[in-house]
Amino acid sequence: MFAFGDYDTTDLLWLGDWSTSWIALLVLIGLAVLAYSAFDLRNVARYRRWTLIGLRGLVYGLAVVLLLEPAIDMRDTSKIPNHVAVVVDQSMTMDLKVDGDGTTRMDRARQAITQLRSLQEDAGEDHHFDFFTYGEELAPASPASFAELEPRATAADLTGALEQVQEHYEGKDLGGVILISDGIDTGSIGLRKARGEEMDEFSRQFLESLNAPVHTLAAAGEEGLRDLAISRVLHDDFAFVHNSITVDVELQAIGMEATSVPVTLRRDGRVLQTRNIHVHPDETSYEVTFEFVPEQIGKEVYTVQVPKYEGEALYENNEHHFVLPVIRDRIRVLQVVGRPSWDQRFLRRLLKRNPNVELISFFILRTDQNPQIVPQSEMSLIPFPTDKLFDTELGSFDLVVFQNFNFRPYRMGHYLRNIDDFVREGGAFAMVGGDLSFASGEYARTPIEDLLPVQLPSSRARSEIMDSEDFRPQLTDAGDRHPITQLAFDPQRNREIWEELPPLRGTNVVAGAAEEATVLAEHPTIRGNRGEPMPVIAVAERGEGRVMAVTSDSTWRWGFEHVGEGGTPREYQNFWNSAIRWLIQDPELKLVRLDTKYDIIAPDAPLDATVSVYTPDYSPAVGAEGELRIEHTPLDAVAGGTERGAAHYDTVEFSTDHSGQWDLDRRFSEPGIYEFEVEVESRAGTLTDDNLVLVAPDVSQYRDIVPRNRLLEIIAEVTDGHHALLPDFDADDLQFKPPRHVEIHNRQIVQLWDNIFLFLVILTLLGVEWSLRRRWGRL
C-alpha cells in the first residue's frame, strides 16, 4: 500500500515508447473499427446498435491505454528559494545630509535594509536575499556590514551594477532586485537619459532583459537641497603657446535665491578672468566660457571657482582644478639658400608639407656683384632683408638653416654674432653643405665657426675644401643610438638601412670634430687633421641651444633616387624630421627627462615618476648622480591666490641604474601642487628638467548631487517593480517572482497498466459484448 499523504505532487505519465505518429495511427484504426461496426449494425435497433458500438470502443480504448503504459508519478517536493538581489549605492553622494537632524542618504538606506531583513525572514522558503554594494563596480556584502559602511566610491555606475547583477545570476532563478540609491548614475543609462527626458529604447530593452522586477527605493528627494556646483569643465587636452584657448564651465544651482554669482578662473593661483552669472530660483543650469592665451610652454594649473554660500549641501564642488599642458605651436624655420639646388628644393618641400612648421625661405638669385642694367626701382627681385632677419626678427625663429650660403656678398658679417647669441640663448642652427658653405662660404674664424660642431680648414684652395667623389656615410657608435640617425630601433637593421641608401655626391672638407661635438656619421676615406675619419653629420650643444652640420648637399638623393631603386622616401623624411626635433629640443629628446604618468593623482596615491638620463650620444647614463628638488603649495593656498612654488618640500639625491633611470617612489597625503626639478651634472654640462603633479581629492561624484528620483521611478515602471521615496517604505509592497525550481525528496512511480484488475475489466467487457450479440442474434 502507498501512503499517498506522504506526497504533495502527483502527475500522470505514459511510459510506452510510442511516437506521436503511431498513436495517431491507433486512433485512426479505432475510428475505422467503430465506423465499420456502425455500418454492420445498421439494421439493428438503435439502442442495441449503440450499446454494442460503445462496448467495442471502450474495449479498444482500454487496449490502447495498456499499450501506452500509464503510470502515476508521486513526488514529495519542496521549493528552492530564488534569489532577490539587494543592491545598495555606496558612492560619495550617499553621505550627504537629507534633513536638519544630520540624517544622511546612507542612514536612510540602512533603515531600509533593517526592514528588508524582516522581509527576508518572512519570505521563508520562497526567496533568498543576496546583498551587494556598488560604486565603480558591484561587490558582495553582508547585512551586518552596512552598519559600518562608509560611502566613499568616486563613481555611481548604476547601469554597470545592474549589468553585473544580470551576469551574476545568469542561469539562476532571479526573483527580483531591490535597488537603494539616490538615482545618480554615472553609467550609460544615466548619461543617455538627461533630466526631464524619457528613457531611450535601448535602455528599456536592457531593463526588460533582466526578466525580474526592480524595486527602487530613493534615498533622498530634491526638497530642501541647496547647492551651487561646478558640474563640468570642458577644455582641450593641451594648448598651444601664444594661441587662444577656450574653457567652458557648466554650473548647477539648486535652491538658490536670485543673485549674481562671480565665476573665477585662476592660473597658477593668480586671477586670470572673472565672469558673472545671474542665478534665478526657477533655473538650475548655467554656462560660462573663458578665453585666454597661454604665455609659456609647460604645465599650468588652472582653478575654476564660485563663492561658498551658507547652507550649501557641501563646498567640495565649488572648485575645479585641472592641469593644462602648454606645448610649442608651429616651429618657425628660417631657411637661407645661396643658390637653388635639388637639395634645397627637397628640404624646402619637406618643411612646407609639415603642418607643424612655419617656413620662411630666402633664395639668393643675384648679389651686388651681378651686372645691373636697369634701375633698382624696376627690379622685380626684393633685396635681401638682412637687418630685419638677423636683428629685429631673429628671436622669433626656432631654427635657422644656412644651406649653401655665403654671407660676405651681403655685408652681414656683423650679424653673425647675433646668430651666435641666438643659439646660446636657446635657438637652433644648422649648416648644410655646398660650394658656398663651411670653409667655401668663408666661415672660418667667424662666430659661426665657434658654433659649428666641426672645425673648418684655414685653406681656401678649392681642392682642399671640397671633394666631389661619391661616398656612403659610415655610422659611428653614437649614430647607432642618436635619434637623428636612428632610422630603425634595431641597431643592426639601422646600419643595413644606411648601407642601402644611395651614396652622397661630394662633400665639403672639414678639419675634424669641434670640441664637445658628437659625430653621428663619418666619411669612409677622407681623414681630418688628426687622422680620424672626417665628420659628415655632427651635432653639438652650445649654451642653451643646439647646432648641426651636414657637409654634403645631396641628402635629397635619399628621397629621390632611393625611390627609383625600389625604396621609399621615408628615410629622408625621418632623418630631417628627427634632426629638426632634436635641434629645437623636443622634450622627448632631452638628455634628462622627468616623466610622470599622471598629471593629477589622489592623496596617498603612488606617484609614478621616472628620471631618465642619457649621454650626448643617447646611450643610457649609468650611475649618473643628480638631485631632485620638490616644492609644494597647498591647494587651498592656490585657490586663495598664493603663487605656486611657495614652500620647499624635500630634496632627494639619486643615482641612475643600468638603464640610466631612477624611479621616484613617493606618496603625498596633503593636497596641493608638487613641483619637481631634477639636475644632473654630465660631460654635456648641467642637465635640468622639471615637471609638476597636482594632488587633489577626486570629487567628480560631487559635481552632480541632485537625486534622480524620476530615473528610479522609470526603472521600476519598465520592470513592473515598485518605487518608494525613503523613509516612506512598506516592505509588503515588494512583490517577487515565485520560485521556478523545486527539490525532490522522495519519488514513487505507480504503473497502472501492469494491473490484473485492468485486464479483468477488459475481459468482462468483451464477455458482455459477446453475450449481448448472441442474445440479439448477431453471432
Identify which of 544, 506, 541, 540 has the alpha carbon closest to the alpha carbon of residue 525: 506
Cβ neighbours for 669, distance < 8 A, ≥ 6 positions apart: 603, 604
Instruction: Report the alpha-carbon distance of residue 423 to residue 546 in Å, rounded.
Output: 7
User: Quick one: pLDDT at residue 654?
Assistant: 94
- HEC sequence for 764-778: HHHHHHHHHHHHCCC
Bigger pLDDT: 218 vs 618: 218
- Residue 268 backbone zone (phi > 0: left; psi -120 to 50: alpha; other: beta): left
* 418's grid cell: 647675433
pLDDT of 38-63, one tens digit each? 888 878 788 888 888 888 888 888 88
Average pLDDT, the chain: 86
Q: What is the DSSP-derived secondary structure letter of residue 98? A: -
* 375's grid cell: 634701375
Max mean pLDDT range (250-264, 483-497, 608-622): 250-264
CATH of 82-103+115-224+704-724, one of 3.40.50.410, 3.30.300.210, 3.30.70.260, 3.30.420.40: 3.40.50.410
User: Quick one: pLDDT at residue 373?
Assistant: 45
User: Quick one: pLDDT at residue 42?
Assistant: 78
CATH, domain range 227-312: 2.60.40.10
Cβ atoms of 329 and 239 closer than 8 Å: no
pLDDT of 635-684, one tens digit each? 877 776 555 556 888 999 999 999 999 999 899 999 999 999 999 987 76
User: Quick one: pLDDT at residue 380?
Assistant: 37
Question: What percent of the chain lies above the pLDDT cut of 70?
Answer: 92
* 100's grid cell: 536638519
Over range 234-261, report the average pLDDT: 91
Cβ atoms of 218 and 723 closer than 8 Å: yes
CB atoms within 10 A of CB 449: 17
pLDDT of 155-193, one tens digit each? 999 999 999 999 999 988 899 999 999 999 988 888 887
Inform me whether the pLDDT recorded for 374 exceeds 50. no
User: Quick one: pLDDT at residue 75?
Assistant: 76
Q: pLDDT tier at 209 (50, 70, 90 boundaries)?
A: very high
Inform me whether the pLDDT recorded for 381 exceeds 70. no
At 319, which amino acid appears? E
Identify which of 303, 291, 307, 294 has the alpha carbon closest to the alpha carbon of residue 227: 307
Instruction: Report the alpha-carbon distance of residue 405 to residue 508 in Å, rounded.
Output: 13
User: Quick one: pLDDT at residue 340?
Assistant: 85
Phi, psi values for residue 658, rounded to 5°: -65, -20
Instruction: Report the alpha-carbon distance of residue 14 to residue 37 in Å, rounded.
Output: 29
| 560: helix, strand or coil | coil
Burial zone of 118 (CB within 10 Å; 0-12 exposed, 13-18 middle, 19+ buried):
exposed
Same fold, 227-312 and 590-695: yes
Q: pLDDT tier at 376 (50, 70, 90 boundaries)?
A: very low
Q: pLDDT tier at 379 (50, 70, 90 boundaries)?
A: very low
User: Quick one: pLDDT at residue 747?
Assistant: 77
Length of the chain: 779
Cβ atoms of 630 and 652 closer than 8 Å: yes
User: Quick one: pLDDT at residue 5?
Assistant: 65
User: Quick one: pLDDT at residue 246?
Assistant: 95
Q: pLDDT tier at 375 (50, 70, 90 boundaries)?
A: very low
Q: pLDDT tier at 322 (50, 70, 90 boundaries)?
A: very high
Over range 508-524, report the average pLDDT: 93
Cβ atoms of 265 and 300 closer than 8 Å: no
Question: What percent of the chain lies above the pLDDT cut of 90?
Answer: 44
User: Quick one: pLDDT at residue 177?
Assistant: 95
Cβ atoms of 405 and 441 closer than 8 Å: yes
At 562, which amino acid appears? H
- HEC sequence for 579-635: HHHHHCCCHHHCCEEEEECCCEECCCCECCEEEEEECCCCCECCCCEEEEEEEEEEH
Instruction: Report the alpha-carbon distance of residue 621 to residue 659 in Å, rounded.
Output: 7
| Beta bridge partners of residue 260, listed in sequence order | 278
Over range 715-725, report the average pLDDT: 94
User: Quick one: pLDDT at residue 506?
Assistant: 92
Instruction: Report the alpha-carbon distance of residue 557 to residue 547 in Å, rounded.
Output: 23
Instruction: Report the alpha-carbon distance of residue 592 to residue 584 in Å, rounded.
Output: 15
Instruction: Report the alpha-carbon distance of residue 614 to residue 596 in Å, rounded.
Output: 18
For 331-366+381-588, which CATH class? alpha beta
List the end-to-end C-alpha distance of the chain, in Å, as a whole number: 43
Instruction: Report the alpha-carbon distance of residue 577 to residue 574 in Å, rounded.
Output: 5
* 21's grid cell: 505518429
The DSSP secondary structure of 382-444, one letter per residue, reads PPP-HHIIIIISGGG-SEEEEES--SGGGT-GGGHHHHHHHHHTT-EEEEE-STTSGGGGT-T
The DSSP secondary structure of 20-58, one letter per residue, reads HHHHHHHHHHHHHHHHHHHHHTTTS-HHHHHHHHHHHHH
User: Quick one: pLDDT at residue 3?
Assistant: 60
Instruction: Report the alpha-carbon distance of residue 572 to residue 331 in Å, rounded.
Output: 19
Query: Which superfamily does CATH assign the domain made up of 590-695 to?
Result: Immunoglobulins (2.60.40.10)
User: Quick one: pLDDT at residue 146?
Assistant: 87
Over range 89-112, report the average pLDDT: 88
User: Quick one: pLDDT at residue 539?
Assistant: 95
User: Quick one: pLDDT at residue 71?
Assistant: 84
Inform me whether the pLDDT recorded for 274 exceeds 90. yes
Instruction: Report the alpha-carbon distance of residue 656 to residue 667 in Å, rounded.
Output: 21
At 541, which amino acid appears? E
Q: Beta 545-550 vs 428-432: how paired, if at all? A: parallel
User: Quick one: pLDDT at residue 364?
Assistant: 67
Q: Note if the bond before 524 is cis, omega within 30 degrees.
A: no
Inform me whether the pLDDT recorded for 87 exceeds 50. yes
Name the pTM for this structure.
0.69
At 579, which amino acid appears? A
Over range 310-330, report the average pLDDT: 89
Strand residue runs (E) in 189-297 = 214-218, 227-234, 239-240, 245-254, 259-267, 270-279, 285-292
Instruction: Report the alpha-carbon distance of residue 228 to residue 279 in Å, rounded.
Output: 10
Complete edge-to-edge strand list for the sheet that includes strand 685-695: 600-601, 685-695, 672-682, 625-634, 647-655
Question: What residue spans define the domains of the chain?
Answer: 4-78+747-775, 82-103+115-224+704-724, 227-312, 331-366+381-588, 590-695
